[in-house]
Amino acid sequence: MDFFAHPSAIIDEGCIIGSGTKIWHFSHIMPKCILGENCNIGQNVVISPEVILGRNVKVQNNVSIYTGVICEDDVFLGPSMVFTNVINPRSAINRKNQYAKTTVKRGATIGANATIVCGHDIGEFAFIGAGAVVTKNIPAYALVIGNPARQTGWMSEYGQKLIFNKDGIATCDESKETYKLENGQVTKL
């Protein structure tokens, strides 16, 4: 075993867990999950069957990741954020065959207490503010806040707000990398 699991964690059979991954107190990793290398799974996290996490995914305390979710490399999931997997759940009606897929692309951040309604993808390096409720697809590098989540700007790969000049060019204050905004899409130059 080349990963760490706290003695109180439950890891069901059939999981694949990458080297260097840490699973903390009272977390439950359910069957057929794939967790990449160097992930950090905080305390009281539930990862449902068949969830896929890429490399270096950080899952903070009290997060529920339900079947149908894929998080690519370098994703950050803030404390107590949640994914859903059925649009119209009812206790008395089994809808396990209706789970909707949600993909969180590489480098995206989802803030504390945010909710991602199933079937909506989060673009690369997007930044979902704390408490936001995502009800539609979010483009790469977008900054969204509120309920329902609305876009208020763009973020760099370092998590700094980008301010574009009249030519559609912005520079990240932290990394000094340059970005271009064109036709409603941001690309790193």
Task: Give percent of the chain with pLDDT exceeding 90.
Answer: 92
pTM, to two decimals: 0.95
Same domain, yes or no: 11 and 40: yes
115-152: pLDDT as tens digits = 999 999 999 999 999 999 999 999 999 999 999 999 99
Domain count, the chain: 2
The overall average pLDDT reported for the chain is 96
- What's the rounded Cα separation, in Å, for the pair 114 and 131? 4
Same domain, yes or no: 184 and 150: no
- What's the rounded Cα separation, in Å, for the pair 118 and 51? 13
Q: Is 1 a residue whose pLDDT tops 70?
A: no
Select the more confidently predicted residue: 93 or 172.
172
Same domain, yes or no: 25 and 118: yes
Q: Is 57 a residue whose pLDDT tops 90?
A: yes
Same domain, yes or no: 23 and 59: yes
Same domain, yes or no: 91 and 143: yes
Q: Transcribe 77-113 into DSSP letters.
A: E-TT-EE---SS-BTTB--GGGPPPEEE-TT-EE-TT
Task: Give percent of the chain with pLDDT exceeding 70.
Answer: 99
pLDDT of residue 182: 96
Same domain, yes or no: 117 and 140: yes
Same domain, yes or no: 58 and 121: yes
Same domain, yes or no: 95 and 179: no
Same domain, yes or no: 62 and 101: yes
Domain that holds residue 9: 4-155
